[in-house]
Homo-oligomer: A and B are copies of this chain.
Amino acid sequence: MVKKNIKNKVLEPLFSKPSGIKKQEAKENDNKGLTVKKNEDFSEWYTQIVQKCELADIRYNVKGFLVFQPWSVLSMEKMYCYLENVLQRKGHKPYWFPTVIPESNLKKEEGHIEGFTPEVFWITEAGNNKFEERLALRPTSETAFYQMFGIWIRSYKDLPFKTYQRANVFRYETKATRPFLRSREFHWIEAHCAHASEENAMKQVYEDMETTKEVLHDVFGLPFIFFERPAWDKFPGAERTFAADVLNPDGKVVQQPSTHLLKQAFSKAFNVKFADKDGKDKYVWLTCYGPAVSRIFASVAIVHGDDKGLRFPWAIAPLQVAIVPIVDDAKLMKKAEALKKEIEKFASVEIDKSEKSAGEKFNYWEMKGVPIRIDLGLKDLEAKKVTVFRRDLGKKDLVADGSLMNHLKKIADECGDNLTKQADKIFDNRIKDVKNIDEIKKAIEDGKIARCGFCSVGMDGAKCAEAVEKDVGASVRGTKLEKEKASGNCAVCGEKANYVVYVARQY
């Protein structure tokens, strides 16, 4: 899902060749930390984070397609784990659907195909055979799942029918791509559910939002607001769309999981009916929910990262503890190995045996965002102590050997919450009440989210939203779930305000 209107910007060339020069560049960057501050040049900071922390390599020779590297993959695998565990606990069953969808399936729901057509990759041949019908690389899988729902679902006893799949999806993005934030192949979970009534379907939508909070906020530490999107910004084929906007430190928002109450058009198109208790055949009510793990990873990097580099919550750190012997010494190495054995029982841990200097090693692990670094020096060894650096607070402690494990476990317990608390502060005083377009502009330029009266979130409000887009370069994110009472006038057209909406710039 996470589907936006397409504007016909200039297409990026699809192919690019990796060159020898880049190999050289990468070499020169070795062992150097970030060279810009996050709040001074956010864009460059992000580029460096992706490259220097080895999160993804953009030099693959198909434009917009990334190679995800171990440091991000290890973290994203953990993210999948948390999300899937919660979904399974709430009764979703896992499926693996085919990656390919026949064009005729995609066409069955009018709004859906209209929204996605410009972005679909098409398979037209295999071996020496040209196909009679094109196959889409799934941009999203409603039209694959619901066809099978039509076969599987028979009675009210089968409902709710709650599914999900872990999958990669493909969209021929015409906007500039950005690693993790917008690429032509990304990794997500899509949950698809069928319900007996609209009311139950809406309950599912609320459950999805609760899941988002449980995992993205409470475990990954991401602060967000759920908005109901205006009519012009809904998922193609949806009746109502709800999406979590995560706030970046620079005031721009990133859309994270969205959940959708779909029109019954889908269940009609794919003939997904059930025999109800009253004996009558009825169409099911469908919902879909799409947390995009690779995009969520971007928010984790952006929200928690600082001028030194990444900072991972304990739960999703690719590595939790790094042990750095300060000098190359057999006794130190022996101690390092002994500590590793102890720590392995409750955390992932590695000894840095590289040939870098101690200072370079310190900076490296700080940049990589490992929650705990243990520095082993000869003097400390004699005193039966070690130096423990915790990344969440940027603090060093000298800890006696005897209390080390408890000390580490305490940090493990606390550091996720600390990052969450620090992140939640991003929202402090961020919402600015405004009355007209100049005030919206001013608020946005100050890195705030503007809140204002608005004429309509139906299609008749689209012209006012376009004006905001044009004049301010920001978009109307929608209304809060707990409806706020509007008073006064629309900040754009001056007509009566019927809604309170939020305006922000987005990535």
Mark A residues whose CB is within 8 Å of B: 11, 14-15, 18, 22-23, 26-27, 57, 59-62, 65-70, 73-74, 76-77, 93-102, 105, 117-129, 131-133, 135, 137, 144, 147-148, 150-152, 154, 168, 170, 172, 174, 185, 187
The listed residue (B73, B125, B135) touching A94 by CB distance below 8 A is: B73
CB proximity of A348 to chain B, nearest CB, Å: 10
Q: Which residue of B has the minimal Cβ distance to A57?
A: B148
Tell whether, in the assembled complex, residue A147 and residue B61 are in contact, meaning their CB atoms are under 8 Å apart.
yes
The listed residue (B26, B121, B147) touching A151 by CB distance below 8 A is: B26
A-B pairs with lowest CB-CB distance, top 8: A126-B172, A65-B98, A70-B93, A68-B96, A121-B126, A73-B94, A118-B127, A124-B124
CB proximity of A277 to chain B, nearest CB, Å: 14
Tell whether, in the assembled complex, residue B154 and residue A27 are in contact, meaning their CB atoms are under 8 Å apart.
yes
Contacts A11-B129, A118-B128 given; 17 further ones with Cβ under 8 A? A15-B102, A18-B147, A18-B150, A23-B150, A23-B151, A57-B152, A60-B97, A60-B98, A60-B144, A68-B96, A70-B93, A70-B94, A73-B95, A74-B94, A119-B127, A122-B123, A123-B123
With contact pairs A15-B132, A151-B18 given, residues A61 and B102 touching in the complex (Cβ less than 8 Å): yes
With contact pairs A119-B127, A137-B123 given, residues A98 and B185 touching in the complex (Cβ less than 8 Å): yes
Tell whether, in the assembled complex, residue B67 and residue A148 are in contact, meaning their CB atoms are under 8 Å apart.
yes
Q: Which of A59, A67, A105 has the most CB of B within 10 A?
A: A67
Residues of B near A26 (CB, < 8 A) are 151
CB proximity of A68 to chain B, nearest CB, Å: 4
24 residue pairs bridging A and B, Cβ less than 8 Å apart: A14-B131, A18-B147, A23-B150, A23-B151, A60-B98, A60-B147, A62-B98, A62-B101, A65-B100, A66-B98, A67-B95, A67-B97, A67-B148, A96-B168, A98-B185, A100-B121, A100-B185, A121-B123, A121-B135, A122-B126, A124-B125, A126-B172, A127-B172, A129-B172
Tell whether, in the assembled complex, residue B127 and residue A174 are in contact, meaning their CB atoms are under 8 Å apart.
yes
Tell whether, in the assembled complex, residue A148 and residue B15 are in contact, meaning their CB atoms are under 8 Å apart.
no
Residues of B near A18 (CB, < 8 A) are 147-148, 150-151
Tell whether, in the assembled complex, residue B151 and residue A59 are in contact, meaning their CB atoms are under 8 Å apart.
yes
Residues of B near A168 (CB, < 8 A) are 96, 99
A40 to B336, CA, bound (A): 60
A243 to B299, CA, bound (A): 43
The listed residue (B96, B127, B150, B174) touching A187 by CB distance below 8 A is: B96
Residues of B near A27 (CB, < 8 A) are 154
CB proximity of A149 to chain B, nearest CB, Å: 11
Q: Which residue of B has the minimal Cβ distance to A69?
A: B95
Q: Which of A117, A123, A129 has the most CB of B within 10 A?
A: A123
CB proximity of A62 to chain B, nearest CB, Å: 6
Residues of B near A95 (CB, < 8 A) are 67-70, 73
A124 to B95, CA, bound (A): 28
Q: Which of A73, A94, A117 has the most CB of B within 10 A?
A: A94
CB proximity of A106 to chain B, nearest CB, Å: 12
Tell whether, in the assembled complex, residue A15 and residue B151 are in contact, meaning their CB atoms are under 8 Å apart.
no
Q: Which residue of B has the minimal Cβ distance to A117?
A: B127
CB proximity of A150 to chain B, nearest CB, Å: 7
Residues of B near A187 (CB, < 8 A) are 96
CB proximity of A201 to chain B, nearest CB, Å: 21
Q: Which residue of B has the minimal Cβ distance to A168?
A: B99
A23 to B97, CA, bound (A): 19
Residues of B near A66 (CB, < 8 A) are 98
